[in-house]
Amino acid sequence: MRDIKSFIVATAFGALTVVSSGVMAQAADGRFLSLTPPEGLPVIPVMEGWVANEDGTASFSMGFLNKNKVGVDIPLGPNNYIEPAKYDGQQPTYFPSGRGAGSFAITVPADEINQDIWWYLKTGDGEMLKIPGRYGESAYELDFIRPRPAGSMQPLVGFGEDGAQAAGLTALMGAHEGTVAVGQQLELAVNVSDPSMRDTSDPRFKDPFPVGVHFNKYQGPGAIEFARHESTPEPVNPYTQDNPRFRFYRAPGANEVSVEGGAGVARVYATFNAPGEYAVVIKADNFRAPDSQEGDQCCWTNVYQKVTVAP
């Protein structure tokens, strides 16, 4: 009965907007979630589901829901931690506004798949929320390691222009060599390709879909400002002012790059406003395909670039 009530409350929060994002947060003391005053809403941890990997390990896809209109920082520590402690530190400390589906994954060995992984998260003076990474419930099984109905698969991503590529919710962790000074622009680049197996005799799939690449702060003590690279100038509104769609056009952010043709390199500039250790998450998706979107829990890949910033 408690699970049913928790499901209803979580739905009221709008957290169940995706398929399989089922196990929602409960207050650590067992009480149900309740709305906080308008000046601050909680960041809610979410278990998207679990994946049975071919090597016998299991991966738990984790995400979040930030109901605030602005991003929220929750540093690693007593308000943001994972148990068992050996898995702590993989989670984000910065939560952009809105839904962050599948922002990271925790992979456990075969002999630990039946042990729960708990993510604890507390926003400001709110309640401590926790969510389990739990194996076995068929309703939460994810199979995005296989092609979708129209052939979509997770994009491949590598660091730099020609770094080795991988796919997955936590595909790669890289580190920028040396340090960057506060206020200094740093060029970040990834190479991407879409391995999807689509029927090119279908007119919808005659040409490859672009790969969307998004750069965001993942961890770090300060803010990161992104700027467009010369190779990707800001696109202009493709509609004329007399077209009804003109006013609905939204130009991509400075941290967003569309790689046309399904393969290529995405570049942006990042500037850090405070010294410390940072991680930038780079998410590549093929959401222009009809069978790929966050609501289907597929298809995107996350890689993470660590950066040390000096005063």
242 and 199 together in one domain? yes
- Predicted local distance difference test score (pLDDT) of residue 152: 85
* Site of tokens 């003391």: 29
79 and 161 together in one domain? no
The answer to whether 273 and 222 have CB atoms below 8 angstroms apart is: yes
Range of the domain at 301: 156-310
pLDDT truncated to tens, each residue of the chain (311 aa)? 444 444 333 444 343 333 333 344 544 454 555 554 444 799 999 999 999 998 999 999 999 999 999 999 999 999 999 999 999 999 999 999 999 999 999 999 999 999 999 999 999 999 999 999 999 988 899 987 777 777 789 999 999 999 999 999 999 999 999 999 999 999 999 999 999 888 788 888 888 889 999 999 999 999 999 999 999 888 888 888 889 888 888 888 999 999 999 999 999 999 999 999 999 999 999 988 888 878 778 899 999 999 999 99
Per the domain annotation, does 151 fall within a domain?
A: no
- Predicted local distance difference test score (pLDDT) of residue 86: 97
How many domains is the chain partitioned into structurally?
Answer: 2
178 and 241 together in one domain? yes
- Predicted local distance difference test score (pLDDT) of residue 201: 80
- Predicted local distance difference test score (pLDDT) of residue 25: 52
287 and 172 together in one domain? yes
The answer to whether 255 and 215 have CB atoms below 8 angstroms apart is: yes
Taking alpha carbons only, the member of 110, 159, 164, 152 closest to residue 135 is 110
166 and 62 together in one domain? no
- Predicted local distance difference test score (pLDDT) of residue 10: 42
- Give the pTM: 0.84
182 and 260 together in one domain? yes
247 and 272 together in one domain? yes
Per the domain annotation, does 149 fall within a domain?
A: no
Per the domain annotation, does 146 fall within a domain?
A: no
Considering 110, 140, 170, which residue would you say is the last residue of a domain?
A: 140
* Site of tokens 């507390």: 122
SS (H, E, C) the chain: CHHHHHHHHHHHCCCCCCCCCCEECEECCCCCCCCCCCCCCCEEEEEEEEEECCCCCEEEEEEEEECCCCCEECCCECCEEEECHHHCCCCCCEECCEEEEEEEEEEECHHHCCCCEEEEEECCCCCEEEEEECCCCHHHECCCCCCCCCCCCCCEEEECCCCCCECCCCCEEEEEEEEEECCCEEEEEEEEECCCCCCCCCHHHCCCCCEEEEEEEEECCCCEEEEECCCCCCCCCCCCCCCCCHHHCCCCCCCEEEEHHHEEEEEEEEEECCCEEEEEEEEEECCCCCCCEHHHCECEEEEEEEEEEEC
Per the domain annotation, does 28 fall within a domain?
A: yes
- Predicted local distance difference test score (pLDDT) of residue 264: 97
Q: What is the CATH number of the domain that holds 194?
A: 2.60.40.10
165 and 306 together in one domain? yes
- Long-range Cβ contacts of 127-130 (<8 Å, 24+ apart): 127/27, 127/28, 127/29, 127/31, 127/33, 127/42, 128/27, 128/28, 128/29, 128/79, 129/25, 129/26, 129/27, 129/28, 129/33, 129/42, 129/44, 129/45, 130/25, 130/26, 130/28, 130/45
Per the domain annotation, does 94 fall within a domain?
A: yes
